[in-house]
Amino acid sequence: MVSTRFVLLPTVLAFAATTLTAQADPDRSVAGGGSFPAGWHVRTEIARQTGQPAPLANVKFGAMGDGLHVTVGPAAIYWRDADTASGNYHIVAKFTQMQNPAHPESYGLILGGKSLADSGQSYTYFLVRAVDGMYSIRRRAGYTARPTAVVEWTASDAVVKSDSSGKATNELSVEVRGGRARFMVNGKEVYAADAAGLDTRGVVGYRVNHNLDVHLGPLGVHKL
């Protein structure tokens, strides 16, 4: 008989490492936050310290150049009610990370969003990490629910890694057509699956995880 102590040890160590990382890199305070462009909504993740949504005051989000710019403490999603997609469509945006975070953090697109401002929020999200050249696809079903991985963090040469200054630009896109969903980084397909197993009908927008400084290119939503 194999002792469960040794089977569980890697899981316990992984959880402990995640907890220590979170404690060592708390959401930072951001000056000038809390005011957002007209028509845009922001929903932060729950703050571990309080169990409540993290303060919007630590989200600096505004227009810059031909797009938008976010400098954040907490992780958050960003959307406009008018930006919806269903049936056959293509969504695309460029993301420019301005500097490396303290540890790998990600950003990208959300799609199929429903009830985003409420406890019952749901959406699929497609993220990249420029620090280590990885991508992931996940689903959120409930504001307080832990997201589930459709694709765990996976290395891909399609992802542009950050340069010596910590800067990197990546274009993310998703095409939904004929019941299939294709996920692309810089025009290269990294994953495809049946759309029925994903959230594909609803609001589209951006997600930026915590302690990042990212320029968001215009969000393109194209009916096919």
pLDDT tens figures, 158-190: 999 999 999 999 999 999 999 999 999 999 999
Scored b (16 or more CB within 10 A) or e, 147-166 reads eeebeeeeeeebbbebeeee
Domain assignment present for 2:
no
Domain count, the chain: 1
Domain assignment present for 91:
yes
Q: What pLDDT is recorded for position 24?
A: 65
Scored b (16 or more CB within 10 A) or e, 6-18 reads eeeeeeeeeeeee
Domain assignment present for 172:
yes
pLDDT tens figures, 130-160: 999 999 999 999 999 999 999 999 999 999 9
Nearest to 15 by CA among 146, 211, 135, 125: 146
Strand partners, 13: none
- Kindly indicate the confidence band of residue 26, based on its pLDDT and cuts at 50, 70 and 90: confident
- In single-letter form, the type of residue at position 174 comes to V
Strands 202-208 and 107-114: antiparallel
Contact by Cβ (8 Å): 211, 98: no
pTM for the model stands at 0.89
What proportion of the chain, given as a percentage, has pLDDT over 90?
Answer: 81
Q: What pLDDT is recorded for position 62?
A: 97
For residue 205, the domain's CATH number is 2.60.120.560
Contact by Cβ (8 Å): 136, 152: yes
Q: What pLDDT is recorded for position 14?
A: 42
Q: What pLDDT is recorded for position 23?
A: 54
Quote the domain boundaries for residue 56. Answer: 30-223
Those residues whose C-beta lies under 8 Å from the C-beta of residue 19, and which sit 6 or more positions away, are: none
Domain assignment present for 4:
no
Domain assignment present for 201:
yes
Domain assignment present for 22:
no
Higher pLDDT, 56 or 12: 56
Domain assignment present for 114:
yes
Domain assignment present for 16:
no
Phi, psi of 24 (to 5 degrees): -80, -15
